[in-house]
Structure 1
Amino acid sequence: MNVQYPMGGLRGARTISVMRGGIAIALPSESDSTPTCWGRDFQMATEIPAQAEAVAGARHQLGKLLKRSGLSECADTVMLVAQELMVNAMVHGCENNPALPFSLRATHEHGCLRVEVEDPSMEQPHPRPPSADEEGGRGLHLVDALVTRWGTDSSAPGPGKTVWFELDLGAEEAAS
């Protein structure tokens, strides 16, 4: 399946293609002559079934996009934090039910990388102190330590929430 959608962005409207697997990616076109120092801008969106294999696939696609966009230096951190949010969406937001998908969006504009994970649950994530024998409970502490900012948004119409994080990239990494 290949469906085209217009998307707004730093340089105006771009067209993205939704390929098999539901991943939509928008990169600046080769013919874009708008002068800018933000040559690595992109938008990515995908819907993911609440399955571990799908989370791994989305993480891999995000990593490829970051590396292709010249953002290799932050790729490991972004993939780790995005995976944490996707696993939380799968386990807590979708209750491991593959029939309840969640979505992943990533954008890079103006030197800021933003990743959003939206799931159907209204339950807000909150860091909790893990006990020594607990397997989980450390993920949001990891998120908080690795990103510039993170938070949640429940203002969209309909049920669910979006958990997001941002990384402000240094001038040498943001400039082409």
Structure 2
Amino acid sequence: MVKTLRFICAALLAALILLPFLQVIMRDVFGSAIVGAEELTRFLLICTVFVAYPLVVRSGENIVMGELRAALPARWRHWLGLLITLLSLGACVMIAVVTAMNISDNLRNATPTLKIPFWIFLGACFIGFAGGAVFHAIQLFRPETPEDSDTHSVSL
């Protein structure tokens, strides 16, 4: 799953860089813009951010109040880390469920220029938050390491 997400993120990022570059070349060299390039660029940016979120959670680089936790006694760090992980898990599950419901309500809606279906945008959001929920759940049951006590979420 991680390798697949990394590949998808790299492909999305490459397309996100390549498309505006091609747009500039098309406008300046050939005098003709790519129709819908701005819309597609926004789409790629949104998808890149959401699809990359589970990787951020997996690496422990999401917001976990590391500086605050480092200033607390060890016992409090553990409980605050557990609270953060549980709240993050709950938020990810809630957003994933709401997104799934919105997908079912917007199956026929699309973007104005390129007619990209909204379910693709929402699908990236769903993948991101569902994947984030999976990795937060994994964090609850993995053994705590010394690094976890300073910056990352902790296990039960």
Instruction: Identify whether the pair has TM-score above 0.5, normalized to the shorter chain.
Output: no
Larger fraction in helix: 2
Which structure exhibits the higher relative contact order, with contacts defined as CA atoms closer than 8 Å and separated by 6 or more residues? 2
TM-score by length of 1: 0.28
TM-score (norm 2): 0.30
Structure having the larger proportion of residues in strand: 1
